[in-house]
A and B are shown apart, each in its own frame.
Chain A
Amino acid sequence: MAPRKPSVMRPARDVAVVAFGQTDHLRSTDELSEVEMLMPVLHQVLAATGLRTSDIGFTCSGSCDYLAGRAFSFTMALDGVGAWPPISESHVEMDGAWALYEAWTALQTGEADTALVYSYGKSSPGSVRDVLTRQLDPYYLAPLWPDSVALAALQAQALIDAGETDEPALAGVARRSRADATANPHAQLSGSVAQGDYVVRPLRTGDCPPVGDGAAAVILAAGERARDLCERPAWIRGIDHRVEAHGLGVRDLTDSPSTRLAAERAGVFERPVDTAELHAPFTSQEVVLRKALRLGDDVTVNPSGGALAANPMMAAGLIRIGEAAARIHRGASHRAVAHATSGPCLQQNLVALLEGDTR
């Protein structure tokens, strides 16, 4: 077999995001179970399209047992979906953006025409910085408990050392994100937020995402079905995701080749985008992603405030796709790129290219 060259992947079927809903993202939701947190957004996207659970061709969700603190935590959420009569359904132990990818794949086969995608995460019951150390190499890295902020700080310092950014520029990313978030009623952190003290040098509190709980849901539809359900569908022109090596020592932390490759496959570089929703929990990661996606200053980046305004684990990536799609639904964007990430220092990245119908 010849070596593969990155080339644009043309989907067999036109599939669009036709509805998006999210919770208000909160520091703590002690009074709500995950199901109770999720239910309103499920109802919201179903109501927006007039669909019932039994109309949906395929359902896929993303969540994480390690956040819930129990095995099979997603089974309770399924009860909330109301999977009766039985539904065609699957689950990824990943951010909901990858659940959307699995659902998009199911629609590509033609076996379903509509899909419900949802994801949720509650970080409030534990210390998410510590919890995330459990996803590191269990033999050589996890025993050292390097927390997520510390690893992001390594990346930020590498960027500063390479002359790619500096602390004032990072503070600017934080300031812009929280200012934009004032227009986002779901944001957890918005307005004028002090950069604060160092958490782990060179990252200050302002460079870090808020820790919180939240959920999101999306409905996908194929072809004419999408036009039936939505006045201005956000067509997924391309979607791809790539993973990098796990060991930080073998990666160039100032770059994101996996994001670039996924973007190439998704067709992001064929024509300019007007909007980008980037899943960059730390200010420094926006610097990496802007470079990988070749975003110019004319692109509106994270008008929602991004993950610096609300970062519900397992949902924040799906929310980037939803926010980009919602702008297309509203006519505020024509062509947008959405990005989701997973793992330490942007190890795994998904890129989706969304576009409205040409008017």
Chain B
Amino acid sequence: MSSNSQTLTPQATPDVGGLAPVAEGRRRGRPPAEPAAGQGRKKSLMARIRRDKVMLLLIAPGFLYFVVFHYVPLAGNIIAFLDYKPYLGFVDSVWVGLDNFAAMFQDGAFWEALRNTLVITGLQLALFFPVPICLALLLNSIVSNRIRKFVQSVVYLPHFIGWVIIVAVFSEVLGATGAVPHLLESLGLQRFDAMTTPEFFPFLVTIQSIWKDAGWGTIIFLAALMNVDQELYEAAAVDGANARHRLWHITLPGIMPVIILLLILNLGSILSVGFEQIVLQRDNVGPGAGEVLDTYVYFHGIQDGQWGPAAAVGLVKGIVGLILVLGANKLAHLFGQEGVYSNGKSK
């Protein structure tokens, strides 16, 4: 589930919680790297700037990028309070207060987009989420290293294929002339075009997500599985526990913290569906089934020129999404997990 079409992020989330310099120094048990002179904190600010000038110069382009393309546009959300006209610009457009937000709540298309978003993310949570876990359990039970690595390579590959290609590939297989309708017909069932049936759309999107990312999603669970104490298995086996007992009483409790953590983080991103994936296929099924919040903003704002109202929807979605992610992180803390900030792209 992703809101941001522009970043490519693998499943594993970085351990941002541990990045604070203090925590780092403590955990790594190593004194902070001081300059050779060893004068450290007592240096004056100017002296430190002089010492760090190369480092600061190296940071500058990246810092500038984040400011220009993330923070300044963030301030641009002010447009949600304007009756924005491109030819008037930000300064001369009329300030309308909360009118755009009021319009949003009265717009049936907005509620439809919200409903579609929740249906799709809910379905993904129910159908997608368990797949990487089961796949990881299966892979983990393979004794042969070579077979396991081969299967891993095969299931990781689709993660790197872009949505345009994936939609084209799915049209070829599920579309009117594809293999699946042929198969359905030969089984005596009614053939239908999975790409253009509105009722099927949430399932179609979920199936595509599973095909693309379920394999990649196993990485985090495989690592967790490898870490379950092997001596527990041995002791249990000696005591007569069979494979099913061991799975139920050792493996699953062992990886449960990771499962709960990822579940919470996914709950935090229920307002975000893969934008690129949906925007490519929305017109196949029409906005009634295919419009989600992100595509609503795009089509109503940039395509139809209703800048203010669409920006209001985008802003509300962004704020609620941020609260959900932060809340999810808090919840993960309560479950005893180290804070893991996700950018909502854990699928």
A binds B: no
By a beta-carbon cutoff of 8 Å, the part of chain A in contact with chain B is: none
By a beta-carbon cutoff of 8 Å, the part of chain B in contact with chain A is: none
